[in-house]
Amino acid sequence: MPKPSRTMLFTAIWLFCILQAAPTLGQAPAAAEDLRQFKIPETDEGLPGSGPIRRYQWFRELWEQRRSEWSTRVETDQHAIVFLGDSITQGWGNDFKGRFPGLKAANRGISGDTTRGMLIRLEEDVLALNPAGLILLAGTNDLEEGATPEVIAGNIELILSELKRHNPQMPIILCRVFPSSAEKKRPREQIQAVNKLYAEAIRDNPQVTMLDTWTLFANAEGDAKMEEFPDLLHPNDLGYAKWAASLRPLLATAGFIETEADQQSPEAGFEPLFNGKDLSGWGFRPTSKEDIAARNRWQASDPDAAEWPIITEATNLDGRQVTDDGRFLAKSGRLVVTTPSEGRRIQQLWTQQEFDTDFVLKLEFRATPNADSGIFIRGTQLQCRDYALAGPYKALQNYKPQDWNEIIVTVKGNVARATCNGELLEEALTIPPSGPIGLEGDRGQVEYRRIRIEVLP
């Protein structure tokens, strides 16, 4: 008999732990009649959605046990942030590994579940809780069962539609399907096809924010990394830590965590460019002829090019906390460039003040995985991104993914020197003799705080 592989052993241990823990959710074991209430339908007839519904004996038992016990917590879990998914979500446990202190969260993951299974149980397991928000990761098990990307995305659309019908104001974070491996019947091409359809499904839907958890975890070949996914399917503690870090900025923007205002105390000689409360001092400027020409060339050469709205009139945002489209907002001491529902949208926010003398600009930023933004120095862009994934400064040793990083820009004459956490970004960036400070949005979410400037003599 062949020797079991490391992957097979890890999967077996994972499944054993889940089955052992299933009856222990802080409640007494469910009675037999309670379990029957949550029995998986014997046939697909009359059920919503399409595609596979698992009916293996171990899955039946787990499905019935977890759902029955959740039914005893409906009142306790009212208005929680609900995590909906399969074994990867179930793997958070009920305490979410202590990664979200102070957050009222409810785990509604069932190992082995498919998107259709989640759709079937959505009303009782999720909507009955009147959730304040929802985090959804789904689709990998559908692929193993042979479902097409179109079927999987169709079920996700139905889930999102039901969530919107229940509460159109509830923030939803849709995680891209994690990378896995062809040997797990989850080839990267299929996962990428699913993720592309997910992005299309939420286009122009501001209720849903897509989180790029595929790029976060994929290796150079587009598969899961053994050091984070030992069985090429389920994350270990390192993987969960990265997932948690990627979620925190979005949870903060939704107002679920980090609700206390950041305290800004500029050093002597520095003046704040952002007051931490609203967008006073900032606004939109008409799109330049050069940018319009670049936009037209880009969109003509690439059918998937990012959206790039043209601004025809200057707009003063004094006293405003958020722009009309919600792209730029002031919240708890942070100036947030939110994730566009189109996937990518190039927009620029500018200071009303222009600077024609030497100065030092300091600020801190935090980016979601693979996010792309920019800082304009008198009109010249310094790339500000999730450098570890989006570049261009991938060799930085001090960069902290999905955490706060400090950028310092020193301007002397027509040259700017820029560092990130003390590491050099640009030694001599050529800039115009005069101009404003700007922030750009492209893809993903980027937050800025403690934006301040010292005018040099």
> pLDDT (tens digit, 9 = 90+) per residue, 224-272?
999 999 999 999 999 999 999 999 999 999 999 999 988 878 999 999 9
Residue 275: count of CB within 10 angstroms of its CB: 15
Q: What's the confidence (pLDDT) of residue 36?
A: 58
C-alpha span between 214 and 12 (Å, rounded): 25
Residues 6+ apart with CB under 8 A from 216: 242, 243, 246, 369, 370, 389
In the chain, CATH 3.40.50.1110 covers 6-253
Residues 6+ apart with CB under 8 A from 8: none
Pick the CATH number of 6-253 from 3.40.50.1110, 3.40.50.300, 3.30.420.40, 3.40.50.2000: 3.40.50.1110
Q: What's the confidence (pLDDT) of residue 315?
A: 94
C-alpha span between 337 and 234 (Å, rounded): 31
Q: What's the confidence (pLDDT) of residue 26?
A: 39
Q: What's the confidence (pLDDT) of residue 25?
A: 41
C-alpha span between 413 and 431 (Å, rounded): 9
Q: What's the confidence (pLDDT) of residue 265?
A: 86
CA nearest 285: which of 309, 323, 313, 310?
313
Q: What's the confidence (pLDDT) of residue 73?
A: 97
Kindly tell me the sign of the dihedral angle through the C-alpha atoms of 341, 138, 120, 97. Answer: negative
Q: What's the confidence (pLDDT) of residue 37?
A: 77
In the chain, CATH 2.60.120.560 covers 271-455
Looking at this protein, which amino acid is placed at residue 388? A
Q: 153 with 201: CB under 8 angstroms?
A: yes
396 Rama class: left (phi>0) / alpha (psi -120 to 50) / beta:
beta
Average confidence score pLDDT of the chain: 92
CA dist 257 to 101, 212, 433, 446, 449, Å? Answer: 9, 20, 41, 16, 16
Whether the bond between 392 and the residue before it is cis, its omega within 30 degrees of 0, is: yes
Q: What's the confidence (pLDDT) of residue 24?
A: 41
Q: Is pTM, for the whole model, over 0.85?
A: yes
Q: Spell out, as residue ranges, where the chain has pLDDT lower than 70.
A: 1-36
What's the token pair of residue 229? 């996914």
Q: What's the confidence (pLDDT) of residue 303?
A: 73
What's the token pair of residue 87? 């074994």
Q: What's the confidence (pLDDT) of residue 34?
A: 53
What's the token pair of residue 250? 């979005």
Q: What are phi and psi for residue 253, nearest 5 degrees?
A: -65, -35
Residue 120: count of CB within 10 angstroms of its CB: 21
Yes or no: is domain 271-455 CATH 2.60.120.560? yes
> pLDDT (tens digit, 9 = 90+) per residue, 182-237?
999 999 999 999 999 999 999 989 999 999 999 999 999 999 999 999 999 999 99
